[in-house]
Amino acid sequence: MAGRSALINVMYKACDAASRRIMRDFGEVENLQVSRKGAADFVTKADITAEKVIHEELAKARPDWGFVMEESGQIAGQDKDAPQWIIDPIDGTTNFMHGIPHFAISIAVQEGNKITAGMVFDPARNECFFAEAGKGAFVNERRIRVSGRRQLNEALFATGIPFLGRGTPETDKIFQAELQSVMQSCSGVRRFGSAALDLAWVAAGRYDGYWEKGLNIWDIAAGILLVREAGGFVSDFGSRDKALETGNVVAANPNLHTTLLKLLRQGRDSVTG
């Protein structure tokens, strides 16, 4: 990736190495050995292998840095103040396991409380979304921006549907009410099953906005930076800059972010009063 920073090239090299292994496994998806981690939450040999490849590549390039990884947990850096890598080797594992080519590698760099670099790599489409704080967002070699749509009835949003029944009856009803509130006002809502790619697609202007609750930091760290560096807004459901801490994300272009928050609030209020 000529012309990009040394850090972005390090991240790309790790993603490229892991993606080649991931796509080999994807081609033999029916033969994968799968274990159950929890309700509708699977881990495959491909996840573990991809994470190992990414970890090895990044540790070789930045040996002092720490790690937060979906499968392997946290590894402290040599210095408590050292940056740390935040890694999801396959975001969209359920899609992967069902032979659906919509999943991504997500890598972010966290320094203190700030995400300073992020990459979402789509192996199936060979698209690499990346950003560094203050330097803009890109897909492959092209600069990207969030959409400029202002009309709600022309807007396309994305969401993640929670596993109904895992929460309380009230939280299930709240999501359904939020979804209905948005659906009746916009041109459509999509649920493709990868939070990292949903955020990357908001950054690229493919979606006008996205919302989801209960996510992990490795699902969203890179994507949040992508949206912000592409000119979008990201908050939690209370319009606070706490999406990373809460795992509750509302991302949209600047014209529709407040509107999306309002629609979600209206749906929620219809249940909670």
Sorted by where each begins, the domain ranges of the chain are 6-144, 152-272
- Cα within 13 Å of Cα(201), Cβ side: 24
pLDDT at 137: 98
* Local confidence pLDDT in tens for the 273 residues of the chain: 556 899 999 999 999 999 999 999 888 876 766 776 654 456 678 899 999 999 999 999 999 999 999 888 889 888 888 999 999 999 999 899 888 999 999 999 999 999 999 999 999 999 999 999 999 999 998 999 999 999 999 999 999 988 755 667 788 899 999 999 999 999 999 999 999 999 999 999 999 999 999 999 999 999 999 999 999 999 999 999 999 999 999 999 999 999 999 999 999 999 987
CA separation, residue 133 to residues 24, 73, 109, 226 (Å): 33, 25, 10, 9
Q: What is the per-residue pLDDT for 76?
A: 87
The per-residue pLDDT for 197 is: 98
Q: Six-digit token pair at 156?
A: 């396309």
Structural tokens at position 56: 């090895």
Look at the domain 152-272 and name its fold. Answer: D-Maltodextrin-Binding Protein; domain 2 (3.40.190)
* Whole-structure pTM value: 0.94
Q: Are strands 84-91 and 104-111 parallel, antiparallel or unpaired?
A: antiparallel
Q: What is the CATH number of domain 6-144?
A: 3.30.540.10
The predicted pLDDT at position 40 comes to 44
Give pLDDT, residue 39.
43
